Structure formats: structure tokens, C-alpha cells
């Protein structure tokens, strides 16, 4: 149960390990209190931050469309198109994920231009009730998968037109959804944003929490009443994933609402049963990691080209020549001036390969997690197998996040080679970062199992399948680490 302000400076007992620990009251008083006060005091001025970020975002995604082609030897320092690409994939993508560990979903509530656009549209819009198909918890999973696959087929990492389509289209969808649905709410941020879902899952390992001052029983609930823009029932709040840290519910002088609490990173997953474990999050964690992996591996593995040639030959033998024709620009990359033109064969192979890798990895993680859940029950774990499965599925969050940063945000490390480091040295740095994620995942798995009642002397048995699953994720991302 979240701690009240009166308990911040006291002594409590770890309910898992039964070891007295001191609540980080002094840290909360010195850091959390001033931060809370600052954002509450300047809450009305955040709109100007949103305006600046919105204009910057528009410039990043649309201005390169009107500029000349970047020359081959240009850099982010002397060409805006290169700068925009690096800002998107070398800075924004990986750093937003890393920021979740320290500040939770602060990006969503303080900086995100899409969420702000959706909120602005909602104030002027129709404010209709949010329909069931939007509120379905599988909706953001589908949104993420579609955006990820489309980004690969149109070349979102290489072509400014693709960046404008994917991110501009996402911005338009956020605006439209906000215009039609919700009353002073962010239906987009809660129900459909693909990045929001990703950050929401990873925010559970973050070091900040907005906790109720007066906790009510009954578990985390959805409600369209109240001040929360992402429809959290504030007195019953238990999980971090929907909280965008907008500070609307924070009032230091009030006896109710939420307060900013610092915690050690990973605490929420260690004690996940107290924080509304959700099977949809585990499904997304498995599928999202797999689809992102597929989006990277088709670019680097020779087996993809071998499969492409075999499938293409099969179609040609049957004189189905349409497979070699290019499709619409909004569905696949058609850029002859840059010597890249996809045809229907390329489109079908990319989509199939990504979905295939996704299903294989998801199946592997499902098996390892299922075996862990079953073994945990054999050596003293409580709850049912399905409940243990959902809890143990969260152990992969750190290794999944690091994998995404290394694979899809690898441009973050590009400047290191320009500073004189060799590719091999950079590879070892990446491997070290992945090792941190791997060890962290193993630690979380152990803590979850202890919470389930597994004795320390039997811990290794149900933990072993989780080790194998995390190592499998690492091996799959190996080309991203060393560029092989």
C-alpha cells in the first residue's frame, strides 16, 4: 500500500524479506517535495512548453520535406534533414525510454505534443462518450503493431516523407480522437497511443510514483469522473502505467489527491501483485519486443534475403509478375531518387518476417514464463498458474527496454565512434548496458517469486526458465549489440 506523508520519515518492514528498512523520507523531503511544489506552482504555464514542443515537433517532421536532398557526407551538424533524423532516432527514441526509469511518464504529461494536441482538440470538440472499441485494452497493442510495421515498410528511419506520414498521421489521429471523444480527458493517451503503451509498461520500473494520500480499497479502477485526464480513479490508484504526471491531481495543501513519492527503481514490479497486474501488458511486452526485433533483423540477416529470393522465384514460376510491381507510396517505400523502391514482394516479405519473428519470440517467452509459473507452484508458490504467469511476465521489462534501445535507438551511440572509440569498444559498451538489463530482469524475477511464497533454497528452479528467456532475447538482439 502506498505510504502516507506521515509515514515518510518512519521505519517500516519489507513484507517480502521481513527486513526493517528506512523509508527514504529525507530524499522525498529534499527532492520530491520541491519538484512537486515547482510543477504545481507553474502548472498553468505548462501550456507554453506544449506550444514550443508542438512547433519543434512540426519542424522536425515536416520541414525536411521542403529542403534539398542531404548530400552524402553531410552530418547532423551541417544539415537539418540529418539533424531531424538524428533528433528522432538518436535522441528522442532512446532517451525517452531511459527517462522512464528516472521520471516515469513525464514525457507524456509535460512534453508530448501529441497528447497536448489531443487535449486542445478535446476542449473544442464534440466530447462524446468514449466508445467500447476505444476503451478495449487490446486497442493500443494493435495500434503499436500497425505503426511499427508501417514504419518499416515505408522506411521511417531513412526517408523524411515516411517520418511525416507516420508521425504526422499519428498526430492527426490524436487530434481527431480528442475532438470526438471524452470530456476534458485524453482518450488518445489512455487508449490508443502506441508510444504511451510502451512507456506505460516501462514506467512500472521507474523511480517515481504518484500515490494517493488517502488510499481507498477496491483496486485500480477506470473512471471518466474526476480531474485525471487519463481517467484514473485517484483514491484507488495502484499502478503507474496510465499516469502521465500532469500534476493536475497534486495539491500539497490538500488532504486528498496524490503526492509525488520517490522509490527505488523496479519496486512496482517487485511487488506487482499490489499494483494491478494486467495480462494485456504481458501480451504487449511479448509481442512488442518480438515485432521490434523483427523490424531490425530483416535488415541485417542474410536469411531474409534468401527467403525473399525463394518466395520471389515461386511467384515468377507461376507467372504472377505483379509481385514485382511497386505499390502505393503510403504503404511502402517508393523512392527511386534514393535508389530504394519496394514492390509487393518486399512489402509482403517484410510484414511476414516481422510477424513471424514476433510470434516465435512471443511463443518462446510464453513457454519459459509458463514453465516458471508451473514450477513456482510446485515449490510453494501461491495463487493460480495463470496469476503466477501474469506476475512473472513482468520480469522481462528491463531486458526488453534495453533491447529496444540498442536495436531501434542504436543511433544514440553513433557519436561515440566520432569521438575516437572503435566499433568494438562501442559494442562492448552496448553489451554492458544489455548485461545490466539482463541482471535486473533476473533480480525482478527472483523478487516476484519470493512474493509468491517460493523459498530461497528452491528459488533457482522456477527462476531458471526466466534466465533462459532473457538470454534468448539477448541473443536475438546480438547483431544490434555488435553490428554483426
pLDDT in tens, 274-283: 999 999 999 9
Residue 387: all three cell numbers together: 496469476
What is the rounded distance in angstroms from the CA atom of residue 61 to the CA atom of residue 117?
A: 15
Question: In this predicted structure, what is the pLDDT of residue 27?
Answer: 64
Question: In this predicted structure, what is the pLDDT of residue 26?
Answer: 64
CB 208 within 8 A of CB 104: yes
Residue 325: all three cell numbers together: 510491381
| Those residues with Cβ within 8 angstroms of residue 351's Cβ, 6 or more apart along the chain or in another chain | 149, 153
What is the rounded distance in angstroms from the CA atom of residue 79 to the CA atom of residue 18?
A: 58
Which of 273, 359, 343 has its CA nearest to residue 308? 343
What is the rounded distance in angstroms from the CA atom of residue 358 to the CA atom of residue 212?
A: 38
Tell me which H or E stretch contains 210: strand 208-212
Three-state SS string over 354-386 comes to HHHHHHHHHHHHHHHHHHHHHHHHHCCCCCCHH
pLDDT in tens, the chain (484 residues): 334 333 333 333 333 333 333 344 566 667 888 888 899 888 888 889 999 999 999 999 999 999 998 888 888 888 999 999 889 888 888 888 889 998 999 999 999 999 999 999 999 999 999 999 999 999 999 999 999 999 999 999 889 999 999 999 999 999 999 999 999 899 999 999 988 888 999 999 999 999 999 888 878 889 888 899 999 999 999 999 999 999 999 988 888 889 998 999 999 999 999 999 999 999 999 999 899 899 989 988 899 999 999 999 999 999 999 999 999 999 999 999 888 999 999 999 999 999 999 999 999 999 999 999 999 999 998 989 999 999 999 999 999 888 888 777 777 787 877 777 887 888 888 888 888 999 999 999 999 999 999 999 999 999 999 999 988 888 888 776 666 5
Which of 264, 265, 267 has its CA nearest to residue 238? 267
> Beta-carbon neighbour count of residue 460 at 10 Å?
13
End-to-end CA, the chain: 47
The interaxial angle of helices 279-300 and 385-393, nearest 10 deg, is: 50
What is the rounded distance in angstroms from the CA atom of residue 73 to the CA atom of residue 95?
A: 26
Question: In this predicted structure, what is the pLDDT of residue 61?
Answer: 94
What is the rounded distance in angstroms from the CA atom of residue 455 to the CA atom of residue 441?
A: 19
> Using only C-alpha atoms, what is the Rg of the chain?
23
What is the rounded distance in angstroms from the CA atom of residue 126 to the CA atom of residue 320?
A: 49
Which of 208, 266, 210, 240 has its CA nearest to residue 397? 266
Could you say which DSSP state residue 338 is in? G
What is the rounded distance in angstroms from the CA atom of residue 432 to the CA atom of residue 427?
A: 9
**What pLDDT, in 10s, does the model give residues 385-438?**
999 999 999 999 999 888 888 777 777 787 877 777 887 888 888 888 888 999
| Those residues with Cβ within 8 angstroms of residue 338's Cβ, 6 or more apart along the chain or in another chain | 69, 158, 159
Question: In this predicted structure, what is the pLDDT of residue 484?
Answer: 53
CB 178 within 8 A of CB 72: no
CB 360 within 8 A of CB 339: no
Longest dimension (CA), the chain: 77
Q: Provide the percentage of residues in the chain whose pLDDT is more than 90.
A: 61
CB 272 within 8 A of CB 392: no
Backbone angles phi, psi at 302, to 5 degrees: -60, -25
Helices (H), 232-384: 267-270, 279-300, 302-317, 344-378
Q: Which residue has the cell 519470493?
A: 450
Q: What letters, b where the CB count within 10 A reaches 16 and e where it falls short, cover 22-39?
A: ebbbeebeeebbebbeeb
- The Cα-based distances of 53 to 60, 90, 210, 400, 444 in angstroms read 10, 18, 24, 28, 35
**What pLDDT, in 10s, does the model give residues 12-30?**
333 333 333 334 456 666 7
Question: In this predicted structure, what is the pLDDT of residue 310?
Answer: 96
**What pLDDT, in 10s, does the model give residues 301-338?**
899 999 999 999 999 999 999 999 999 999 999 999 88
What is the rounded distance in angstroms from the CA atom of residue 248 to the CA atom of residue 258?
A: 9
Question: In this predicted structure, what is the pLDDT of residue 456?
Answer: 92
CB 277 within 8 A of CB 240: no
What is the rounded distance in angstroms from the CA atom of residue 114 to the CA atom of residue 432?
A: 34
**Pairing, β 334-335 against β 258-262:** unpaired
Amino acid at each position: 500500500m502506498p505510504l502516507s506523508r506521515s509515514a515518510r520519515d518512519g521505519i517500516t518492514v519489507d513484507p517480502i524479506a521481513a527486513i526493517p528498512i528506512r523509508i527514504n523520507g529525507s530524499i522525498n523531503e529534499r527532492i520530491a517535495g520541491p519538484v512537486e511544489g515547482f510543477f504545481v506552482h507553474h502548472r498553468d504555464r505548462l501550456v507554453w512548453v506544449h506550444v514550443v514542443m508542438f512547433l519543434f515537433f512540426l519542424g522536425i517532421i515536416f520541414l525536411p520535406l521542403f529542403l534539398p536532398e542531404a548530400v552524402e557526407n553531410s552530418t547532423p551538424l551541417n544539415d537539418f534533414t540529418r539533424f531531424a533524423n538524428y533528433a528522432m532516432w538518436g535522441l528522442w527514441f532512446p532517451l525517452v525510454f531511459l527517462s522512464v526509469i528516472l521520471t516515469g511518464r513525464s514525457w507524456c504529461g509535460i512534453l508530448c505534443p501529441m497528447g497536448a494536441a489531443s487535449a486542445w482538440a478535446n476542449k473544442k470538440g464534440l466530447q462524446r462518450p468514449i466508445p467500447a472499441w476505444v476503451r478495449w485494452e487490446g486497442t493500443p497493442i494493435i495500434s503499436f503493431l500497425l505503426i511499427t510495421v508501417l514504419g518499416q515498410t515505408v522506411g521511417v528511419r531513412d526517408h523524411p516523407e515516411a517520418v511525416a506520414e507516420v508521425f504526422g498521421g499519428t498526430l492527426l489521429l490524436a487530434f481527431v480522437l480528442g475532438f470526438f471523444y471524452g470530456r476534458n480527458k485524453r482518450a488518445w493517451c489512455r487508449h490508443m497511443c502506441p508510444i504511451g503503451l510502451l512507456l506505460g509498461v516501462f514506467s512500472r520500473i521507474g523511480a517515481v510514483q504518484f500515490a494517493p494520500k488517502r488510499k481507498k480499497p477496491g483496486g485500480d479502477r477506470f473512471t471518466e469522473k474526476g480531474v485525471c485526464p487519463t481517467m484514473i480513479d485517484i483514491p484507488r490508484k495502484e499502478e503507474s502505467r496510465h499516469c502521465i504526471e500532469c500534476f493536475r491531481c497534486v495539491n500539497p495543501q490538500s488532504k486528498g489527491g496524490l503526492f509525488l513519492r520517490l522509490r527505488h527503481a523496479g519496486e512496482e514490479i517487485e511487488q506487482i501483485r499490489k499494483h494491478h497486474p494486467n495480462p494485456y501488458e504481458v501480451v504487449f511486452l511479448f509481442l512488442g519486443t518480438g515485432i521490434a526485433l523483427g523490424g531490425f533483423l530483416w535488415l541485417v540477416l542474410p536469411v531474409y534475403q534468401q527467403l525473399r529470393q525463394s518466395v520471389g522465384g515461386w511467384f515468377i514460376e507461376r507467372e504472377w509478375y505483379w509481385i514485382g510491381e511497386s505499390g502505393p507510396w503510403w504503404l511502402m517505400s517508393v523512392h527511386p531518387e534514393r535508389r530504394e523502391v519496394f514492390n509487393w514482394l518486399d512489402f509482403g516479405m517484410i510484414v511476414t518476417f516481422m510477424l513471424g519473428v514476433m510470434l516465435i519470440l512471443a511463443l518462446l517467452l510464453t513457454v519459459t514464463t509458463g514453465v516458471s509459473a508451473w514450477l513456482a507452484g510446485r515449490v510453494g508458490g501461491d495463487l493460480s498458474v495463470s496469476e503466477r504467469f501474469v506476475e512473472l511476465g513482468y520480469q522481462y521489462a528491463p531486458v526488453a527496454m534495453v533491447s529496444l534501445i540498442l536495436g531501434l535507438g542504436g543511433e544514440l551511440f553513433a557519436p561515440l565512434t566520432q569521438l575516437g572509440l572503435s566499433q568494438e569498444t562501442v559494442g562492448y559498451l552496448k553489451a554492458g548496458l544489455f548485461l545490466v538489463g539482463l541482471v535486473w530482469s533476473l533480480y525482478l524475477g527472483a523478487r516476484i517469486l519470493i512474493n509468491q511464497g517460493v523459498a530461497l533454497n528452491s528459488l533457482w528452479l522456477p527462476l531458471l526458465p526466466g534466465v533462459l528467456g532473457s538470454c534468448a532475447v539477448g541473443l536475438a538482439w546480438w547483431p544490434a549489440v555488435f553490428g554483426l
